[in-house]
Chain A
Amino acid sequence: MTTGATFSDHAEEAVPTGHLDRFTLDGRGRYMLFIVPALAVMFAVIIFPWLFTLFMSVHDWRIGQAKAFVGLENYRNLLHDERFLGAVIRTLIYTVLATALPVVLGVLSALVFHRNFPFRGVLRAVFIMPMMATPVAVALVWTMMFHPQLGVLNYLLSLVGIPPSLWVFDQATVIPSLVLVETWQWTPLVMLIVLGGLASLPTEPYESALIDGATPWQMFRRITFPLVLPFIMVATIIRTIDAVKSFDTIFVITLGGPGTASETINLYLYTQAFAFYQIGYASAMVVVFMIVIMALCLMLLYLRQRAQWN
């Protein structure tokens, strides 16, 4: 053995090559013991709940009543459940809006805060404050602000001669109003991620571009945007996952109403599980919801890979 031998060199020497020996405490199995706690925790908090959710989803199971195996009936019922299908559509609309707006505004604000100007640090700190507030507290404050008669928003509108809005108190305006809250709270997160990306960009391409006489727009379009795109994709993935599983804001402000006008998948499955106690049916919804989220994540990860720097 040389003095430069690595840990793995020692390991190779210590491990017998016999098939059975790998599982003895003298062999590689000795090292396997170290991952047992992690595996146990993972099984307890991730794998078992998932297996149990799958188990519940194939049962007609209501709290207080005997459960019965129904196979895939819960999944079939989902396909004919108008309320569930409506919730899926609303979830998609809400997700697209609550992702696109913070991303666009977040990128723009990152470009602004990337420049040097007086009080930049103070203003940046103020800008990220909404992100630091507890979502439920934020939702409660916005609920009061949205009130058609007593809320401050309609008062502000009246000051500039705009007629009052019903905000979350009307089917037509409830989703845009909820998106407004999400945008207000989460644009700073996108801004921070993109700002980090902008700070890490090399300066050489910009110097070359200036020498070549490129305009600011050309520099943004041909240099800044492609280089910062991976960071935008990261922000988009985070925002998409956050928006699709959004619950607290909607629950506190509208409870999914008026009627079902803002009921997303999450709210509907909560109602099924904890108001109607239909654990089996709600579990089937969870499984479908998980598949939707995973598909979205895979798609966004694929897009992120394509946006990587070459």
Chain B
Amino acid sequence: MKKGLTTGRGAASSVSRRTLLQAGLGVAGLAVTGGIALPRPAIAQAAGFDWKRFKGQHIEVLMAKGPRGDLLQKYRKEFEELTGITVGDEQVPEQQQRQKTAIEFNSGNTSFDVLMIPYHVQKKMFGKNKWMEDLRPYLADAKLTAPDYDVGDFAKGAIDYATQADGRLDSIPINLDYFILYYNKEIFAQKGVAYPKNFDEMTAAAEKLNDPKAGVSGFVLRGIKNANVVVWTDLMLGWNRDPISKDGALPEDADAVAAATLYKKLITSYGPQGSVQFNWNECQSLFALGKAAMWIDGIGFALPLEDKAKSKIVGKVGYGVMPMGPKANHSALFGDGMAVSAFTKKKEAAWLYVQWATNKTMQARNLTGGYGSPGRNSSFEMAKTATDLKAPREWVDCMSGSIKIARPGLPEIVGVTEFRDIYGIALTNMIQGGDPAAELKKASEQFKPILAKTEAG
């Protein structure tokens, strides 16, 4: 294996626990000092900045289908009126959007000018090929960046997460996703169980709350290959173990096996039957029906869980920061950014869109509207006094708590999909009876040559 392999914690390219901790402290610090100026609901024309410089141009935006896409589409007109630039925005299902961007970039001619990029999947691949425009010159140009944009308002950890290994900032974070522990307060109260402080208590709670006869599972977790890997790596961070360690070691050591064993136990002993094929949507359905006591997943499910039309547990959902693991307390971090295609001829107009999509107002809307978790400190400050929060305040508090312990949940490598696929199959084999140590060893043997090949050059 190549020495010095980036795992998501190296040099300038990646985000570390420390930088995210700093980000969290930044948020906390702002609370103490009274915070920064709050953005207004509408975007003001900053004095001297000409938003209409590229009036009459048309840009295409390609986004993954999801809440952030909904948010951007909802306020699209605002951007069009502000700049005179017309926007064609398209939301494509996540997997297909990733395929489309990669294939079009490879062809050297993209149909989109702006794209949404998942850091945990494509950051390194796109960065290595310089497929996205370096935004630092744009940020430094007073004619292209509004004075109130304030890139310094982004949490340091968020900017570090977006920054490439060579120091290029080729995207701006629009959403950061932390893994949290959802729990059903009613089921916990009925059996007199307290929120678990560590993994042992979490397992004990699952055992106590698991009641198959009543149709209630102690836990519900993703089991389907590929999607299941992030749950395992989230648990593995509790052993202070990155998915691929700083020295390039693959996850087959005692800590990785211990995390896989816990994952297997939670699913097979306390999970519903058929969990092996569950993705987040099946988990969400059962949890929202009150058929599961706990669920570990991304933080972005508050809106459907608090929607009476989709959930039977409105007002009963607890949002908990990941409990302490045997060696550390971490929450797996994932995220998306907005970027400008290096192949577009309308780079400046595209940058104006990225700037608008990630400005203080839009990031605050992301949080207060329950669309997701922003990267700007000011968004959290605004949420403190906001009276129109769509999601419970406990959810925002959980987000603030998770930021402080967040750490990348997937390795920063080109072959992330292969990593998820191969180890994902190993996890499904475990659920169906396989031995964790043997399955992880086999998966590592399969993945080692792929890693060497994809990281070469």
Contacts and interface: CB of A to CB of B under 8 A. Distances in A.
Given A148-B273, A169-B273, A275 B106 contact: no
A66 B129 CA distance: 11
Contacts, number: 78
B425 A260 contact: yes
B33 interface: no
A62 B454 contact: yes
Contacts of B224: 255, 257-258
Interface in A105-151: 147-150
A99 interface: no
Contact of B276 (A65, A66, A149, A257): A257
Contact of A275 (B128, B276, B414, B417): B417
B276 A258 contact: yes
A198 interface: no
A276 B273 contact: no
State the main secondary structure of chain A at its contact with B. Answer: loop
Contacts of A55: none
A60 B398 CA distance: 46
Contact of A277 (B102, B272, B286, B431): B102
Contact of A271 (B276, B286, B421, B429): B421
Contacts of A66: 457
Nearest to B278: A169
B125 A64 contact: yes
Contact of B285 (A63, A150, A164, A260): A150
A257 B277 contact: yes
Interface string A258-279: 1110000000000100111100
Interface residues of A, number: 27
Contacts of B125: 64
B421 A149 contact: no
A96 B77 CA distance: 55
A149 B428 contact: no
A166 B102 contact: no
B274 interface: yes
Given A276-B418, A277-B102, A259 B274 contact: no
Contacts of A275: 95, 99, 417, 421
B225 interface: yes
Nearest to B131: A64
Interface of A: 62-66, 147-150, 164, 166-171, 254-255, 257-260, 271, 274-277
30 contacts: A63-B102, A63-B106, A64-B125, A65-B454, A148-B274, A149-B215, A149-B272, A149-B286, A150-B286, A150-B289, A166-B273, A166-B274, A167-B274, A168-B277, A169-B275, A170-B274, A170-B432, A255-B224, A257-B225, A257-B276, A257-B277, A258-B224, A258-B276, A258-B432, A259-B429, A260-B225, A275-B99, A275-B417, A276-B417, A276-B418
Given A258-B224, A258-B428, A259-B428, 20 more contacts: A62-B454, A63-B106, A64-B414, A148-B273, A149-B272, A164-B273, A170-B432, A255-B225, A257-B277, A257-B428, A258-B225, A258-B432, A259-B425, A260-B225, A271-B421, A275-B95, A275-B99, A275-B417, A275-B421, A276-B417
